[in-house]
Amino acid sequence: MKVFKFGGASVKDPEGVRNIAKIIQLYQDDGLVVVVSAMGKTTNALEEVVQLYYHRADGYAEKLESIRQYHYSIMEELFPMRQHLVYEEVEHVFYQLKLICQTKPEVDYNLIYDRIVSYGEILSTRIVSAYLSEIGIENTWLDARKLIKTDQNYRFAKVNWSFTEILLKQAIRNAKGRYVIQGFIGSDDNYHSTTLGREGSDYTAAIVAYCLDAESVTIWKDVPGVLNGDPKVFEDTVLLRKISFSEAIELAYYGASVIHPKTIQPLKQKNIPLMVKSFARPEAEGTEIQNGSSLEPMVPCFIRKTNQAVLNVSTTDLAFIVEEHLSQIYATFHRYGIRVNLTQNTATSSTFVINHDPVNVPMLLEDLKMHFTISYRPEATLFTVRHYSEKLMDEFLRDKHPIISQSTPVIYQIVVF
């Protein structure tokens, strides 16, 4: 059994769905679990619906209708006959979304977020599964909300591995079968929808592979594999053909967007190779990630994280920042699901570079203000260079004016506005 994961860019239009089918046909002799993300920018659009609905603002119905029209435009090309069952299935999904948005919003924003945003993957997998069946690729559609069991930490849910493994093995009994399942989503013990963190479909692929002892995982991307930097941001990037799990974990931790940070560890534990390949050129070699210590070639790796903010926290009486204060601050970060990407300390203050979450950060700041003096500045960018040299950094910093810099023998980080 192999696990394939296709992201939103892979299914953004009818040609993308057809391309998935072509790739699957190249693996006719293999059992496959196909993990699919929401189509195109559907998750972003559903996040807008959540915001409008939660704040009881006008426009959420129109936004839902634009999402519906987008999916219909894809279906109309793939399924010209409007009597096809997929239209009824997709219409039922939008009926459920409309019912949710007609009720009074609950207090817990994150619970509402997961309930609404999770439908993006339901829509995409209904369409992909139906198209595969239409062209003769037998497959079984699976509902990840019934199989990926988590806690109630909405938007950042943690997996109940033992329960999930039992459910997946019960659902996927045919080692040569074809299965289509949603990425990114699961459910808690009360069957409330949960999500695994933004871009969490990669993580779903790793969860499925771990629980089924899969032969391998392949993530199909719009890039040739894992590059030493985002080609949209950095010039002269090169393909890393083979890297170790440890190296991949480091790159993902510091924000390399090609792999979700949580993806690597489950695969490493069971020594399941991870391939990152181009969905436009499936015959190309791509990148293989596996156990070992090699990074070929050993080149600097560049990572850019946008949508960052610099938060400075100091004691109200200018007393030293000590372990008790730091413990309280980090507990507050955890309570609001805020990721800290860099930190620096002085005697009386600590500076944190965090993801700017427009919903949870305001609540975080109000909480911290009760105990500390704070300043907060968004719109920052964090650059990380792994395997740097002094000569390289001199050139890299030439046109940048960092307000924070930090380095180890392997990692160099700067924050700029």
Task: Report the pLDDT value the prediction gives residue 258, as an integer from 0 to 100.
Answer: 73
Secondary structure of 69-95 in HEC code, one letter for each residue: HHHHHHHHHHCCCCCCHHHHHHHHHHH
Residues near 379 by beta carbon (within 8 Å), at least 6 away in sequence: 309, 356, 417
Structure token pair of residue 173: 């009994």
CB 70, CB 40: distance < 8 Å: yes
For residues 221-249, give the mean pLDDT: 90
Task: Report the pLDDT value the prediction gives residue 29, as an integer from 0 to 100.
Answer: 86
Task: Report the pLDDT value the prediction gives residue 155, as an integer from 0 to 100.
Answer: 92
Please check the confidence at residue 297 and state whether its pLDDT lies above 70.
Answer: no
Task: Report the pLDDT value the prediction gives residue 197, as an integer from 0 to 100.
Answer: 87
Task: Report the pLDDT value the prediction gives residue 185, as an integer from 0 to 100.
Answer: 97
8 is an annotated ligand-binding site residue: yes
Q: Tell me which CATH code domain 2-221 carries.
A: 3.40.1160.10
Task: Report the pLDDT value the prediction gives residue 293, as an integer from 0 to 100.
Answer: 65
Task: Report the pLDDT value the prediction gives residue 253, as an integer from 0 to 100.
Answer: 85
**Does residue 191 come out as left (phi exceeding 0), alpha (psi in the -120 to 50 range) or beta?**
left
CB 114, CB 71: distance < 8 Å: no
Measuring CA to CA, how many Å separate 406 from each of 224, 344, 409, 415?
Answer: 31, 8, 11, 9
Q: For the chain, percent helix, then strand, then coil, each to nearest 5?
A: 40, 25, 35
Residues 318-356: tens digit of each pLDDT: 889 999 999 999 999 999 889 999 999 999 999 999 999
Structure token pair of residue 199: 């871009």
CB 321, CB 371: distance < 8 Å: no
Measuring CA to CA, how many Å separate 322 from each of 342, 344, 353, 381, 389?
Answer: 18, 13, 19, 28, 34
Selected from 3.40.50.2000, 3.30.2130.10, 3.30.300.180, 3.40.50.10490, the CATH number assigned to the domain covering 301-416 reads 3.30.2130.10
Alpha-carbon span 403 to 382, nearest angstrom: 10
48 is an annotated ligand-binding site residue: no
Cα–Cα–Cα angle for 109, 56, 106, nearest 5°? 35
Average pLDDT, the chain: 94
Structure token pair of residue 2: 């192999």
5 is an annotated ligand-binding site residue: yes
Residues 258-267: tens digit of each pLDDT: 787 789 999 9
For residues 23-43, give the mean pLDDT: 95
Task: Report the pLDDT value the prediction gives residue 296, as an integer from 0 to 100.
Answer: 59
Q: How confident is the model at residue 295 (pLDDT cuts 50, 70, 90)?
A: low
Measuring CA to CA, how many Å separate 114 from each of 108, 183, 241?
Answer: 10, 13, 36
Percent with pLDDT over 90 in the chain: 83
Please check the confidence at residue 294 and state whether its pLDDT lies above 70.
Answer: no
For residues 275-283, give the mean pLDDT: 94
pTM, to two decimals? 0.87
Structure token pair of residue 349: 């203050």
- Break the chain into its structural domains and give their ranges: 2-221, 301-416
Task: Report the pLDDT value the prediction gives residue 71, as an integer from 0 to 100.
Answer: 98
For residues 25-43, give the mean pLDDT: 95
7 is an annotated ligand-binding site residue: yes
Please check the confidence at residue 177 and state whether its pLDDT lies above 80.
Answer: yes
Residues 348-382: tens digit of each pLDDT: 999 999 999 888 899 999 999 999 999 999 999 99
Task: Report the pLDDT value the prediction gives residue 382, as an integer from 0 to 100.
Answer: 97
Alpha-carbon span 113 to 136, nearest angstrom: 36
Edge-first strand order for the sheet with 404-407 is: 340-345, 349-355, 301-315, 372-386, 411-416, 404-407
Q: How confident is the model at residue 234 (pLDDT cuts 50, 70, 90)?
A: very high
For residues 232-239, give the mean pLDDT: 90
Please check the confidence at residue 117 and state whether its pLDDT lies above 90.
Answer: yes
Alpha-carbon span 32 to 1, nearest angstrom: 6
Alpha-carbon span 342 to 35, nearest angstrom: 32
Alpha-carbon span 306 to 380, nearest angstrom: 7
**In a 3-state reduction of DSSP, which class is residue 357?**
coil
CB 279, CB 19: distance < 8 Å: yes
Residues 95-106: tens digit of each pLDDT: 999 999 999 887
Q: How confident is the model at residue 81 (pLDDT cuts 50, 70, 90)?
A: very high
Percent with pLDDT over 70 in the chain: 99
Q: Cis link prior to 266 (omega < 30° from 0)?
A: no
Q: Which residues face 181 on adjacent strands? A: 35
Task: Report the pLDDT value the prediction gives residue 370, as an integer from 0 to 100.
Answer: 95
